């Protein structure tokens, strides 16, 4: 009998189809069978470097239903796993996990609950009574859902980078790496190649509670730097230096290949998968490692011709996930966070094809909320924004070669490589957000979802209106006409399971202060950098801890909640609700970790009904 090594992961779901990803112990026919219905699907596994995978497209689902499913390999059931022995259940509760289900949206649904976060260092503590980086927020989300019998879960989970840490391995992973090579040689205790990358995914996704959660909540993912290496693609000189090392080539090929297999493929719809020539080549090959290595080489050498960014629509909510790592343009005089082709794609997905509002795909009138996923925050604390502008100007020669060398050292040492470090890209994204927020058929909200910085905050910009009137205050709302922008918010939430030194906490707090704002402008003036075209301010946070944000969207209404992980047992009736800020908590007992709601706010009010308008 062929066993299940990893998964299942429920990835894409629409009204009547879904995709389920698995890794198996050998070649086989993988089948997803839905209970009480004829819906299902099967696929032959494909082979990559000694590993076997399948991405099964499930068809025939009924809209607006929740359907339990099972996974069979060569006709033998391998999921759900057998119930635990008495007293050894999920999270120590002595009960089996709820069934894994596929929950499809109803036709014309206007409701969505979306949870998001980033930066999950998956290592489990050697001493289960103490986790040095605190309780895992993703594990706590799973615990909450398990306690509710599976009902208390978001509709979709958005993971914004650092799903694995290739450069910060745990003791358990290091022990496995040491069995195959000498860790005193480069790349030392970091992962070296595709095979070692697979150990990171096993460590992260075989966590029992998280494994169940990913089997029943659709997920969207994008990489950040630690999925490959800290400060990946910081600058042209950084890239030149690392390419000169003996170990980098295998690392980048293994990183991009493993990301394609484990994360990227599931981001695509069944229609996109059917038209993807690389997926077809991998499935047809005796060993898909060869076409994948060629693809990874091409993607690293010439990223302009590879697009990792993607779009997902959830009813009247549009998610645009932007690649802010691999798509960078690094020569100092041309620096861009994403290349011109990628930015053009982003604009095409967000803006109307006909400025008058044609109703063609891409017309903002088609959605009520636009979510732009970018692993790196667009709006930073002003002190940090100014410092990044300054460093970029120095590296570009604004103060001469000596300052340029200092600037590069500071850029690498302080991780100064967010949108502000790519000024033209910052302005391009700002222009795009403004066009969407103030254009015809503007959505109720434009939310930029980010992670990376190991804390959470809310920031809101102020846009001058189309007629040159005084700037609209953050949160002015989406009214009729071009001069009333949609609610635009930068929502940053990180980490899910990691830590931040005390001095950095103090630095982030200072960065939002009046003194920090003045320091940022002083940096920019020294670099001869003009003022940015946009003003913004913090309207929530900073919050520190392991955490997740949740958006509850209903029609043109939007509510936000921030939950932080807490350790220990709790009566879930005193903890937080399920899918969004308005849901009551289930009465059940969870253990190990739980989520405490620390902040809620309304981002947009629902549009008035025709009846209320008549009144």
β-pair type (535-543, 547-554): unpaired
Banded model confidence at residue 149, pLDDT cuts 50, 70, 90: confident
Q: How far does CA 49 lie from the centroid of its chain? A: 27
Q: Residue 407: which H helix or E strand, with range?
A: helix 401-413
Q: What is the mean pLDDT of residues 463-481?
A: 47
Split at pLDDT 50, 70, 90, the class of 255 is very high
Cβ(115)–Cβ(456) below 8 Å: no
Q: What are the φ and ψ backbone dihedral angles of 457, each rounded to 5 degrees?
A: -160, 165
Kindly tell me if the per-residue pLDDT of 93 is higher than 60.
Answer: no
Tens of pLDDT, residues 261-271: 999 999 999 99
Question: What pLDDT shows up at residue 475?
Answer: 46
**pTM (predicted TM-score):** 0.92
Average predicted confidence (pLDDT) for the chain: 90
Using the predicted structure, report yes or no on whether residue 94 has a pLDDT greater than 60: no
Could you give the count of Cα atoms lying within 13 Å of 599 in the half-sphere of its Cβ? 21
Q: In the predicted model, is pLDDT for residue 333 greater than 70?
A: yes
With 50 as the cut, is the pLDDT of residue 478 above it? no
Query: pLDDT value at position 569?
Result: 67
Backbone angles phi, psi at 25, to 5 degrees: -80, -5
In the structure, what pLDDT confidence band is assigned to residue 420 with cuts at 50, 70 and 90?
very high
Confidence of residue 466 (pLDDT cuts 50, 70, 90): very low
Q: What are the CA-CA distances from residue 536 to residues 222, 273, 367, 430, 524 (Å)?
A: 26, 40, 25, 11, 16
| 484 has pLDDT over 60 | no
**Burial zone of 18 (CB within 10 Å; 0-12 exposed, 13-18 middle, 19+ buried):** buried
| CA distance linking residue 491 with residue 542, whole number of Å | 11
Beta-strand pair 66-73/310-314: unpaired
Model pLDDT, residue 504: 96
Angstrom CA distances, 73 to 8, 541, 577, stand at: 12, 48, 36
Mean pLDDT across 466-490: 54
Has residue 607 got a pLDDT over 90? Answer: no
- Which phi and psi (to 5°) does residue 514 adopt? -60, -40
Lowest-confidence pick of 32-36, 352-356, 453-457: 352-356
Average pLDDT over residues 64-81: 98
> How far apart, in Å, do the first and last CA atoms of the chain sit?
67
Alpha-carbon gap, residue 162 to 117, rounded angstroms: 10
Residue 493 · residue 562 · CB < 8 Å: yes
Q: Is 80 exceeded by the pLDDT of residue 273?
A: yes
In three-state secondary structure terms, 146 is: helix
For 157, how many CA atoms within 13 A lie in the half-sphere containing its CB? 27
Q: What average pLDDT does range 58-82 have in this prediction? A: 98
Per-residue pLDDT at 81: 93
Q: What is the average per-residue pLDDT within 410-416?
A: 96
What is the mean pLDDT of the segment spanning 19-45? 98
DSSP string, 518-563: HHHHHHHHHTTPPPPS-EEEEEEEEE-SSEEEEEEEETTEEEEEEE
- Helical packing angle, 502-511 and 382-395, nearest 10°: 90
Angstrom distances, CA of residue 466 to CA of 437, 471, 496: 11, 10, 39
Q: How far is CA 344 from the centre of its chain?
A: 21
The answer, yes or no, to whether residue 583 has pLDDT greater than 80, is no
The residue whose two tokens read 């509510």 is: 559
Looking at the chain, the whole-number percentage of residues with pLDDT higher than 70 is 86
Q: How far apart are CA 526 and CA 387, in angstroms?
A: 10
Which of 55-69, 342-356, 585-599 has maximum average pLDDT?
Answer: 55-69
The C-alpha atoms of residue 607 and residue 478 are separated, in whole angstroms, by 10
**What is the model's pLDDT at position 532?**
85
- E strands present in 417-556: 445-450, 456-462, 487-492, 535-543, 547-554
Q: How far apart are CA 87 and CA 366, in angstroms?
A: 51
- Compute the average pLDDT of residues 237-263: 99
Contact between 203 and 172 under an 8 Å Cβ cutoff? The reply is yes
Q: φ, ψ for residue 56 (rounded to 5)?
A: -90, 125
468 pLDDT above the threshold of 70:
no
What pLDDT, in 10s, does the model give residues 100-137?
999 999 998 999 999 999 999 998 766 666 788 999 99
Query: Quick one: pLDDT at residue 86?
Result: 53
What is the spatial distance between Cα 591 and Cα 574, in angstroms, rounded to a whole number? 13
Tokens of 47: 């082979």
Tokens linked to 196: 């070692």
Residue 334 has pLDDT above 70, yes or no: yes
The Cα 416–Cα 405 span in angstroms is 15
The half-sphere exposure of 337 on its side-chain side, counting CA atoms within 13 A, is 27
**Distance between alpha carbon 309 and the CA centroid of its chain, in Å?**
11
CB proximity list for 81: less than 8 A, separation 6 or greater: 97
Q: What is the mean pLDDT of residues 185-189?
A: 98
Predicted local distance difference test score (pLDDT) of residue 586 = 32
Q: DSSP letter string over 221-259?
A: E---GGGT-TTTT--HHHHHHHHTSSSHHHHHHHHHHHH
The predicted structure's pLDDT at residue 240:
98
Q: What share of the chain is helix, strand, coil (3-state, %, to 5)?
A: 30, 25, 45
Average pLDDT rounded to a whole number, residues 425-450:
96
Is pLDDT at 539 greater than 70 in this prediction?
yes
Whole-number Å distance between alpha carbons of 227 and 377: 17
Average pLDDT over residues 521-527: 96
Distance CA 179, CA 385 (A): 44
* Integer-rounded Cα radius of gyration of the chain: 24
Residue 247 corresponds to which tokens in the numbers above?
């170990």
- Show the CA angle centred on residue 163, arms to residues 424 and 127, nearest 5°: 140
Q: What are phi and psi of 573, to 5 degrees?
A: -70, -20
The whole-number average pLDDT for the span 307-329 is: 97
Find the mean pLDDT for residues 247-257.
99
Q: What is the pLDDT of residue 82?
A: 86
CB 166 within 8 A of CB 252: no
């Amino acid at each position: 009998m062929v066993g299940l090594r990893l998964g299942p992961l429920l990835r894409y779901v629409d009204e009547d189809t879904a995709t389920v990803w698995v890794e198996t112990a050998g070649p086989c026919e993988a089948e997803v069978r839905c209970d009480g219905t004829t819906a299902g699907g099967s696929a032959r596994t494909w082979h990559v470097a000694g590993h076997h995978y399948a991405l099964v497209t499930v068809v025939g689902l009924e809209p607006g239903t929740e359907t339990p499913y099972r996974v069979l390999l060569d006709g033998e059931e391998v999921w759900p796993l057998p119930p635990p022995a008495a007293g050894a259940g999920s999270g120590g509760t002595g009960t089996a996990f709820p069934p894994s289900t596929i929950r499809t949206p109803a036709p014309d649904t206007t409701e969505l609950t979306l949870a998001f976060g980033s930066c999950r260092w998956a290592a489990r503590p050697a001493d289960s009574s103490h986790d040095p980086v605190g309780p895992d927020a993703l594990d706590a989300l799973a615990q909450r859902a398990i306690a509710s019998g599976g009902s208390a879960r978001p509709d979709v989970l958005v993971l914004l980078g650092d799903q694995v840490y290739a450069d910060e391995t745990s003791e358990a992973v290091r022990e496995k790496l040491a069995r195959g090579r000498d860790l005193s040689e480069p790349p030392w205790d970091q992962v070296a190649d595709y095979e070692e990358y697979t150990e990171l995914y096993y460590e992260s996704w075989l966590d029992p509670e998280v494994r169940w959660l990913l089997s029943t909540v659709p997920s969207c993912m994008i990489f950040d730097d630690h999925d490959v290496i800290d400060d990946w693609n910081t600058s042209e000189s950084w890239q030149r230096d690392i390419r000169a090392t003996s170990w980098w080539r295998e690392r980048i090929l293994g990183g991009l290949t493993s990301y394609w297999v484990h994360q990227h493929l599931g981001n695509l719809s069944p229609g996109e998968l059917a038209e993807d020539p690389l997926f077809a080549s991998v499935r047809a090959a005796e060993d898909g490692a060869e076409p994948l290595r060629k693809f990874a080489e091409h993607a690293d050498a010439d990223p302009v011709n590879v697009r990792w960014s993607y779009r997902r629509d959830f009813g009247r909510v549009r998610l645009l996930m932007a690649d802010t790592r691999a798509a960078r343009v690094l020569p100092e005089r041309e620096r861009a966070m994403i290349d011109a082709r990628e930015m053009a794609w982003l604009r095409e997905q967000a803006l109307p094809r006909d400025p008058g509002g044609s109703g063609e795909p891409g017309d903002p009138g088609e959605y009520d909320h636009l979510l732009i996923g970018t692993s790196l925050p667009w709006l930073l604390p002003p002190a940090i924004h100014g410092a990044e502008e300054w460093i970029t100007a120095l590296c570009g020669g604004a103060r001469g070669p000596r300052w340029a060398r200092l600037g590069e050292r500071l850029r690498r040492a302080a991780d100064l490589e967010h949108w502000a470090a790519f000024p033209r890209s910052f302005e391009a994204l700002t222009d795009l957000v403004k066009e969407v927020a103030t254009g015809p058929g503007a959505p109720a909200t434009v939310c930029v979802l980010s992670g990376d910085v190991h804390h959470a905050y809310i920031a809101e910009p102020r846009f001058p209106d189309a007629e040159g009137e005084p700037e609209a205050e953050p949160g002015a709302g989406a009214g009729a006409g071009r001069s009333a922008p949609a609610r635009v918010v930068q929502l940053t939430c990180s980490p899910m399971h990691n830590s931040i030194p005390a001095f950095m906490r103090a630095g982030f707090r200072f960065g939002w202060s009046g003194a920090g704002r003045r320091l940022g402008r002083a940096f920019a003036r020294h670099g001869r950098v003009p003022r940015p075209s946009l003003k913004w301010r913090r309207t929530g946070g900073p919050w520190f801890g392991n955490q997740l944000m949740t958006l509850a969207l209903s029609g043109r209404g939007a509510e936000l909640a921030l939950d932080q992980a807490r350790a220990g047992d709790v009566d879930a009736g005193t903890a937080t609700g399920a899918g969004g800020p308005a849901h009551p908590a289930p009465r059940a007992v969870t253990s190990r970790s739980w989520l405490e709601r620390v902040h809620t706010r309304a981002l947009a009010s629902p549009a008035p009904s025709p009846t209320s308008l008549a009144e």
